[in-house]
Amino acid sequence: EAGVAQSPRYKIIEKRQSVAFWCNPISGHATLYWYQQILGQGPKLLIQFQNNGVVDDSQLPKDRFSAERLKGVDSTLKIQPAKLEDSAVYLCASSLTDNAYEQYFGPGTRLTVT
């Protein structure tokens, strides 16, 4: 069974530029999560999708971050414009249905904003 796929693996941009990350969850997993992990911290949830609907986006900085999950499968996370403090690893995870099920993580995208 293929795991959670993410791309790109690394990205370096200048502040005020825009960037997009892509995630493909495990086949058949209805729930998809995006986390932000700043160096030395644990991951923090940004947004949770159930199929193509948003369940929780309370910690997503909506003035600059956006995410979508078209057709309930792949998802993209966008930052526009980026700030220096957005430098982090962005992790995508998926689970079978909801929070009661095990989450599986992708390898992450390391973003550096200069």
Question: Nearest-CA neighbor of 16 among 72, 68, 64?
Answer: 64
Closest CA to 44 of 102, 1, 86, 96: 86
When asked if residue 1 is in the footprint of another protein (CB under 8 A), the reply is no
Q: Shortest distance, CB of residue 45 to another protein, whole angstroms?
A: 5
The CA distance from 88 to 71, in Å, is 28
- Per-residue contact track with another protein, 65 to 104, x per CB under 8 A? --------------------------x-x-----xx-xxx
**Is the separation of the CB atoms in 95 and 102 below 8 Å?**
yes
The answer to whether residue 57 forms part of the interface with another protein (CB under 8 A) is: no
Among candidate residues 42, 114, 65, the one with its CA nearest the CA of residue 85? 114
* Residue 7 is a binding residue for another protein (CB under 8 A): no
Q: Which of 36, 48, 75, 94 binds another protein (CB under 8 A)?
A: 48
Binding of residue 33 to another protein (CB under 8 A): yes
d(CA 1, CA 60): 30
Told to check if 25 binds another protein by CB under 8 A, we report no
Q: Give me the residues that bind another protein (CB under 8 A), please.
A: 33, 40-45, 48, 56, 91, 93, 99-100, 102-108, 110
